[in-house]
Structure 1
Amino acid sequence: MNEDLTFLVLRQLQANPKQTQLQLSQAIGISVGRTNYVVRALIERGLLKAEHFRNSKNKSAYAYLLTPEGIDTKARITARFIQRKRAEYDALRAELDQLTAEAEAEGLLPQ
């Protein structure tokens, strides 16, 4: 399981712990089966815990709660995610600047 997927799942479940695995899979863009695999792996690693809704008629309804270790892990992953995305942004920005300068030099864009 990659770190970005772990980040997305933890982020979604922290924001909405009562969402179903179907809702979670749709929110992060993966299959329900893969979502189930990831959620189970995070529970086994001690980052999540699943609790039945006490007053739910649907006995398969769960709330997925981040454990203290899950909160710490999410914080560390978030910092690395931001660093990666900033580096990607900086590289893309440099490429856009270069392409824009080339296009302007060739008269393809107004200066």
Structure 2
Amino acid sequence: MSQRDLAKHLGVSLGGVNYCVKALIDIGWIKAGNFARNEDKRVYAYLLTPKGIAEKAALTARFLRRKMDEYDALKAEIEQLQAELAADGR
């Protein structure tokens, strides 16, 4: 996916995507390399670095923990509502 495609998909400007990609390169989360044999020298591959992979794993773990907490809260709320209905004789 090109930066232009990514910008369109996310609904942000191409400049914004480019700025963020450069920032991710600067902090070492991704590495950019172009395809030497490609006629279009603007074509790049962006690869996650080991640091980027670790951050993605941590982000995924935080997301899953948050979703499990939401699930547990919803489950508890459903159980409470069921208990209230049972107490009312429904």
TM-score, structure 2 length as denominator?
Answer: 0.69
1:90–1:38: structure 2 CA closer, same or farther, 3 Å change rule? farther
Give the drift of 1:53: 1.3
- 2:34 aligned to 46, 52, 57, which one? 52
Corresponding residue to 1:68 among 18, 26, 50? 50
Residue 24 of structure 1 is matched in structure 2 by 6
Q: TM-score, normalised by structure 1?
A: 0.58
What is the CA–CA distance in structure 2 between the aligned matches of 1:70 and 1:47, rounded to whole Å? 4
Change (3 A) 1:58 1:89: farther
CA change 1:82–1:30 in 2 (3 A) is: farther
Task: Measure how far apart 1:74 and its partner are.
Answer: 0.8
Higher relative contact order (CA 8 A, sep 6+): 1
Name the Cα RMSD after superposition.
2.7
Return the alpha-carbon distance in structure 2 between the equivalents of residues 30 and 86 of structure 1: 29
Paired with 1:87 and 1:37, the residues of 2 have a C-alpha distance of 34
Higher-Rg structure is: 2
SS at match of 2:54: helix
Residues 74/97 of structure 1: CA separation in 2 closer, same or farther (3 Å cut): same
